[in-house]
Amino acid sequence: MNDNKNGSFSGHSIETILTHEGRKPDEQYGFVNTPVYRGSTVLFKTLADIEAQQQPYLYGRAGNPTTDGVEAIVTELEGAYRTRLVPSGLAAITIALLSCVKAGDDILVSDSAYEPGRVFSDGFLARMGVTTRYYDPRIGAGLGALMQPNTKAVLAESPGSLTFEVQDIPALAKAAHDGGARLIVDNSWASPLYHQPLALGADLVVHAGTKMFVGHSDAFAGTISTTEAAWGEVERTRAQLGFFTSGDEAFLVARGLRTLAIRMKEHQQRALEIARWLEEQDEVVQVLHPALPSHPDHALWQRDFTGSGSLFGLLLAPAPRASVAAFVDGLNLFTMGYSWGGYESLCVPVKLGRNRTAKPWTAEGNLFRLHIGLEGVEDLKADLKAAIERYARAR
């Protein structure tokens, strides 16, 4: 098993790390990429070997060179002690939370958090005797007032992937640590290229690697990166639950990571251009993109981020369902789908409802979530302009 603690390309640029970390051609007969390792049983040559339990790999579920390569890259990018690759972003959240709590404990979760994480907290954790409370994503240092003696974890997502509030990670970390809890941050939006929560005080960072890491809409993955202090419980929890990512999926994650820096630059540039253009269009009430000066958390984004992602929100003037249908049903290049991070652009209408309990969403109008892919920017603008015109006509 690869310790993933000291990447050999530490100190190099992000582009160099993504190109060279996590692969060892000299050990793979000169082939550039680590091949797909498929296997459950690992063989031992002697009784002494099986008794010593010191082979790099003891059983397939614990990892292999393909998964190790991905973990090494993400560890280096996040500035983490170690990383584990797991089957999905939800699996990463599940393991992270379960590593922090036991029956009778309490957790605090951002009201802007990923819906499946809320379902897990309100469902599975509740059945196990863990209480979940939700907090205003803009609470910052005020989180301290919500801490209880049995609060053991705080789950933040910055920015939120539906409403895009940016959270004050250093303030949340201080409040969590002062109260005896660990801070978990979902960093899927910006990726570790543009945001490093561990350096800001977080204890665990999770990713829906399905999104930006994979980048091609063809594989599921999640990652958990931690400080040294948090690692032991995370690894024990993962092992006890039996979460393992296959070599095939890991290979696709590694393939996507090699081009992450280039793709993120393109996604960022295209998303910002379209977001700025949308602010000038009729029917647009607000564009929810933290990198825009109009965003209420723009100053916080400038302080803690070095770039932005492909995903943002679009709030259109109040209109009936017929307008929403006219907007999305006639799209040509944008298609509807719940994920994001791939090369293709996506648009989904957002209904918050049950997803906001601590800080109700009161903005009037219809909210859409846009992922800007790698199509021509002018083509995407034309698709959106036509959609906005259909929306207005159907009012």
Residues forming the active site: 61, 114, 186, 211
C-beta of residue 157 within 8 angstroms of C-beta of residue 185: yes
Q: Rounded to 5 degrees, what are φ and ψ at 369?
A: -110, 125
Residue 278's nearest CA partner among 232, 223, 317, 235 is: 317
135 vs 109, 144, 187, CA distance in Å?
6, 11, 18
C-beta of residue 57 within 8 angstroms of C-beta of residue 42: yes
Q: 34 CB contacts (<8 Å, ≥6 apart)? A: 22, 23, 24, 28, 65, 66, 69, 251, 254
Reported in sequence order, the residue ranges of the chain that DSSP labels E, i.e. its strands, are 82-86, 106-110, 131-135, 151-157, 182-186, 204-207, 222-226, 284-288, 311-316, 346-350, 366-371
Cα 308 to its chain centre, rounded Å, is: 13
